[in-house]
Each structure stands twice: as structure tokens, then as C-alpha cells.
Chains A and B, each alone.
Chain A
Amino acid sequence: MAAAAGASAKAAEEPSLRRSVTPWGSFSWGYSDVGADIFVGLGLVLGAAAGASNVAFLFAGIVYVCIGLAYTELAAAYPVAGGGQYFVFRGLGDIFGFIAGWAVLLDFTIDIVLFAWSCIDYLSKLVPILSFTAHPWVHFLVVFGVIAGLAVLNIIGVRESSAFNELVSGLDVVSETSILFFGFLFAFQPQLLIHTMQMSWPTPFNLMNGVSLAIISFVGLESISQAAQETQRPASVIPRTSISLILTILIFALSYSNLALGMAPWHAIPLDPHGHEQPLWRYLGNEDNNGAAVAVLASYVPYFGAVAALYVPVLGAILLLISSNSGVFGSSRIAYAMSGTRLLPSAFQRVHPKYRTPAVSILMFCGFAIVELIFAALPSLSPHVRHLYVRLFRGEDGITFLGDLYAFGAAASYSFVFIALIALRLNDSQSPRRFKMPFNIPFTYKGNRVEFPVVAVIGFLGIVSILAFTMITHEIGRVAGPLWILFGIAGYLVYRRHKGLPMFGSQRHDWRKAQINILQQAGELEMMDEYMANVKRMDDRRAAAEGAR
């Protein structure tokens, strides 16, 4: 009794996240992460998939819708700040939870560099000295400075305020809609789109490359599920906001790719390096512009482009900086959570004595981000390394190198999330689900009525094919991605052995107690009662079956 009272008092003393995120806050939290992706992805996909860029976005978009539906179901049923890593940990056990979390950590470290890099690319459209192709050293040092600055800010505990986040997201939705509205109104020619698709259809290799890069335009759904622990009434709010977010991002990605392929530019496009004329989409996808394609596209929209050329680079840079910061924040938060469940050493939970922030995690993952930045920038900084990259990796440019790894990490972690969703549907049918992926096949499993999610299987096949495309088409991603996972698994096994924990198996977890706590803390008391009733019914049924035996 005393022990129970003590535990309850301890739980009351433990600091927990305040539930202050509203429906709009939940949307903008996700939007500031996923919405920034199109700013990076558009140019990369146009450079790879040429006239089939819209098809590449379509394929990746359909997979993304499946991923989005899976995250929506899981985040509404398990509203905790762990995202995909927590779902896999819970559905598939410790080692798979570690692998999924480690892949998410790769994505977060790439997120830090890729968005900081692209943020400077956008600013270079207004401040030419920041251009990567013209002044690679300046670009490198400024990106380095941005990452170091974000690390320091996160250690001293400054994070962009939620209100600022919401304001920037709101402005960006209006801005992107305006670019598309004026672009389609004044400059879009459907016949040009069809002509481009027919005349510039890529090879199957380039199409696969484009699809694998297109998925990076849809990465960031982790944010919604990570915000779940701070969202008011998550079971009802999350499905509403995430479906709006999924559709908004899909519409933006498909609209931008169709517009870029079928838009007649307002003024003349510079000639290519060989002195030939080039279409707009090719100009957007070249090395000079692929990091800031949305700003360049906006500047070629008739009339509106005169204004857009001035503000889109700034707005894009701010959104990308927020996204880069979410990488620093997210990586330290996931590492902290993984350390709490003994998937990572306790050092990742060590907080700064003065600022009370997870300083070790922040420094470590920003350190990884700096290493990735050096690998991405080296070929431009040194001609010798460029020759080596051409020989070994077909000479991928810096931003494509980062895109490769981003696609690998996302595809790997999302694949596990689909399997975890299926496992949780079968093994945890007692948890109430206020939102379910559509198209389910009901059947009886271990005496319980369960529903098999067909869309999860489709999504899994889609994301695994994107993972295969990434491995086939990206020389660096094929090596560096699996190496990251293997390096992580080796470290995990050493740590678990050292601590005397099961290396390949799982520790004992009281998921029932955990689920009741989660729902209670979420304020979802009806769901909690429903869960307890379901569990009791299942236990009674099992006891009756054993008695009959």
C-alpha cells in the first residue's frame, strides 16, 4: 500500500509535457516539418525524373498517404511522444524498436544538415555570395555556423515558440497557394505538360531515382505523432489534423510538379552551360537551383513573380530553418526516450547541470550532422575528392548525397512502422482505435476478433520498393545507409550485453499499465474505460476457456 502510494506520489512529481497543442497547433507543427520538404524535394526530383517528375511524386504520394493513415491510427491510439520508434518498440520488441529509432535518428541528423543547407540556398537567391556553386567555402562555413548555432540554442533551451511556428506555417500555406494559383492562372499550358512528359520521359533508372528522391518531400509525419503527447484530446484531434495535412502536402507536391513541367516562364531562362536554350523544369533541377527550386519557380510566375522573388526566398529560408531546428530537437528527444527504455546508454539522458537540456544527445547528433555536412560538401571544396566521388559514386552533388540518406532512413523506419501496425492490430486489439485505416479484413486471431489492414500491406510494399529504388540508384545511400544501421546494431548489442539485458529478445514490459497511463494522461478517459473493459472481457474469456479445458 505504502509502495503504491509512493509510486503514485513519484508519478505526480515527475514532470510531464503540458497539453497545450490545439488542432491548428497540431497541423502547423506537422506542416512546418513536412511542408518544408517540397522546398528541397522539387528541384532534386526534377533533376532526376525530368518529364516524369509528376509521376514520381504521384507514386511517392500514394505511399505517403498510406504512411500518413498508419501514423494517424497509431498516434491516435498511442498518444505518446515517441512516434514511429515507440510504435515499433511496442509492436515488434526491443531490437526492432532500436533499429527503427536508429533509422529515425539518421533522418533527424540528415534533417539538420539538409534543411540548413537548403535554407542557405534559398537565402543565396537574395545574397549571391552564399551560392554553393559560386562560393562553396562560404556556403559550407555558413551552414556549419547554422548547425553550431542551433546546437548552442538547443542546449541553452531556446526553441522557436509554438506561436511563431503557427504564424510561419500560416504564411507559408497562403504563399504556396498564391504561387500555385497565379502560376496555373497565368502560365500553365496543359499541352506543354503533355509535350514535356512525352519528350522528356526518363529512363527507368532515372525514374526510380526520382521516386526515391520524391519520398523526401513527404518526410516529417513523425512530428504529428511526437506532438501527440502535447495535444489536447489527441484521439479526436489527430485524425482531423493529420488527414488535412496529408491532403495539403499531397496537393502541393502534385501541383508544383505539374506546374513546373507545364509552365511557360514569364521571362527568358538563362542558357545552359553549353549555350543551348533549356526548359524551365531543367533549369529548376540543375545544380545551381535544385536547392531553391520553389523560389526560382515563383520568380518566373507572371506578375506575381516580381513580388515572390523578394519574399519567397526569405519565407522558405525561415521554414527550412525551423525544420532544421526540429531535427536537432527531435533527435535529442528520441535519443532521450530510447535511453529511458534502455535501448541506448544512459549518457543520452544526461542533462546539462545549468540548462536542464539533454546536452550530450544534442552535441552528439549535431556532431553526426557536421560529419554528414563535410561528406556532402567535400567534392566541391576539393578537386581531388571530386575525382574520387566521380569514380566511386558517379559524382553525386552534395544535396543529392543528403537526399539519398534521407530517403534511406525514412524508407527503413516507415517499413517497420507498417509491420508494427499489423502486429499491434493482431496483438493489441483491446486498445480502442478512434481512427482506423480503411479496407480491413475481419477474422479471429488467438480467440480475439481482429481486423487485418489491407492498406498497411499496400503501403509496406510501396515503401519497400522505394527502399529498393534507393539502394539500386544511390551509390552513397546504398553504402552509408546500411553502414549506419549496422554500426547502430553493433553498439546496441555491446550495450545490452554489458548491462545483462536480452540482446535479441525484449525486456518484460507491462503494456496494459502503460496504456492505461497513456490514456489517462491524454485525458481520454472514455477510451481508458473502454480499454479496461476490453481487457477484462478478454481475460474472462481466456479464464473460461482454460476452465473448460
Chain B
Amino acid sequence: MRRFVRSEGYARARLISGAFFVVFGVAIAVRTAAIAGFSAAALPAYVLGGAMLALGALRFRDYFARSRQ
């Protein structure tokens, strides 16, 4: 497990999952806006989309920081 999490394959897998998080985050926000608009009830979905975007961005940042090293 430890060897795997140090490998290049794991770093790429995180990068790809980060891309998925960004896509899902945007999709959730856009779909919520289309269905529920900007109501208070839609707030949990917007925060969920935002958290996914942030996690995706964090994984991109980690990957590029690791590549620079």
C-alpha cells in the first residue's frame, strides 16, 4: 500500500480523480442552478459542488508540486 501511494501511477490516479471532482463539482452547481435556482434549499448542493471543485483543485496543485520536485 505504502509503495503504491508513493508511485507515479498513484499520483496520476489522483490527478484523474481530481479532474473528475472538478467536472462533477461544476455539473452539480450548473444542474442545481437549472433546477432549483438560487434558493436557500439549493445551498447544500452548491456547497457540495464547491467542495468537489476545491478538492479537485487541491489534487491538481499536489500533482504539479510533486512534478516540480
Which residues of A are at the interface with B, using a C-beta cutoff of 8 A?
22, 24-25, 54-55, 57-58, 61-62, 163, 166-167, 170, 190-191, 194, 197-198, 240, 243-244, 247-248, 250-251, 254-255, 257-258
Interchain nearest-CB distance for B46 vs A (Å) = 10
Among B2, B36, B48, point to the contact of A254 (Cβ < 8 A): B48
Interchain nearest-CB distance for B14 vs A (Å) = 10
With A61-B47, A247-B58, A251-B48 known to touch, is A170 a contact of B1 (CB < 8 Å)? yes
State whether the Cβ of B8 lies closer than 8 Å to any Cβ in chain A: no
With A194-B41, A197-B41, A251-B52 known to touch, is A58 a contact of B58 (CB < 8 Å)? no
Which residues in window 11-44 of B have CB below 8 A to A? Answer: 31-32, 35-36, 41, 43-44
Interchain nearest-CB distance for B6 vs A (Å) = 8
Bound complex: CA A190 to CA B2 (Å): 40
Among A163, A198, A251, A258, point to the contact of B51 (Cβ < 8 A): A251
Interchain nearest-CB distance for A180 vs B (Å) = 10
Most B C-beta atoms less than 10 A away, residue of A25, A167, A248, A255? A255
Q: List 6 A-B contacts (CB under 8 A).
A: A24-B1, A55-B43, A58-B43, A170-B1, A190-B31, A258-B48
B58 A258 Cβ-Cβ under 8 A: no
- What residues of B have a CB within 8 angstroms of the CB of A251 in the complex? 48, 51-52, 55
- What residues of B have a CB within 8 angstroms of the CB of A258 in the complex? 44-45, 48
Report how many residues on chain B are interfacial, defined by Cβ distance under 8 Å.
19
- What residues of A have a CB within 8 angstroms of the CB of B32 in the complex? 190
Bound complex: CA A509 to CA B55 (Å): 40
A244 B2 Cβ-Cβ under 8 A: no
Interchain nearest-CB distance for A239 vs B (Å) = 11
A254 B41 Cβ-Cβ under 8 A: no
B1 A194 Cβ-Cβ under 8 A: no
- What residues of B have a CB within 8 angstroms of the CB of A22 in the complex? 2, 5
A194 B47 Cβ-Cβ under 8 A: no
Bound complex: CA A54 to CA B42 (Å): 10
A58 B47 Cβ-Cβ under 8 A: yes
With A191-B35, A240-B62 known to touch, is A247 a contact of B55 (CB < 8 Å)? yes
With A166-B1, A194-B35 known to touch, is A255 a contact of B48 (CB < 8 Å)? yes
Interchain nearest-CB distance for B47 vs A (Å) = 6
- What residues of B have a CB within 8 angstroms of the CB of A240 in the complex? 62
A254 B35 Cβ-Cβ under 8 A: no
Interface residues of B, dominant DSSP: helix
Most A C-beta atoms less than 10 A away, residue of B41, B51, B55? B51
Bound complex: CA A534 to CA B44 (Å): 43
Instruction: Given contacts A163-B2, A243-B58, list 13 more A-B pairs with CB under 8 A.
Output: A22-B2, A54-B45, A55-B41, A55-B44, A57-B44, A58-B44, A61-B47, A247-B58, A251-B51, A251-B55, A254-B47, A258-B44, A258-B48
Interchain nearest-CB distance for A376 vs B (Å) = 30
Bound complex: CA A118 to CA B60 (Å): 36
Those 5 A-B pairs whose CB atoms lie nearest each other, nearest first:
A54-B44, A254-B48, A24-B5, A247-B55, A58-B44
A248 B55 Cβ-Cβ under 8 A: yes
With A166-B2, A191-B35 known to touch, is A244 a contact of B58 (CB < 8 Å)? yes
B51 A247 Cβ-Cβ under 8 A: yes
Bound complex: CA A61 to CA B35 (Å): 24
Bound complex: CA A198 to CA B41 (Å): 9
Interchain nearest-CB distance for A127 vs B (Å) = 29
Which residues in window 53-69 of B have CB below 8 A to A? Answer: 54-55, 58, 62
B2 A24 Cβ-Cβ under 8 A: yes
- What residues of B have a CB within 8 angstroms of the CB of A25 in the complex? 2
A254 B44 Cβ-Cβ under 8 A: yes
Bound complex: CA A170 to CA B5 (Å): 10
Bound complex: CA A240 to CA B62 (Å): 8
- What residues of A have a CB within 8 angstroms of the CB of B36 in the complex? 190, 194
With A54-B44, A244-B55, A251-B55 known to touch, is A190 a contact of B35 (CB < 8 Å)? yes
A257 B2 Cβ-Cβ under 8 A: no
Interchain nearest-CB distance for B36 vs A (Å) = 6
Bound complex: CA A427 to CA B14 (Å): 40
Bound complex: CA A255 to CA B51 (Å): 11
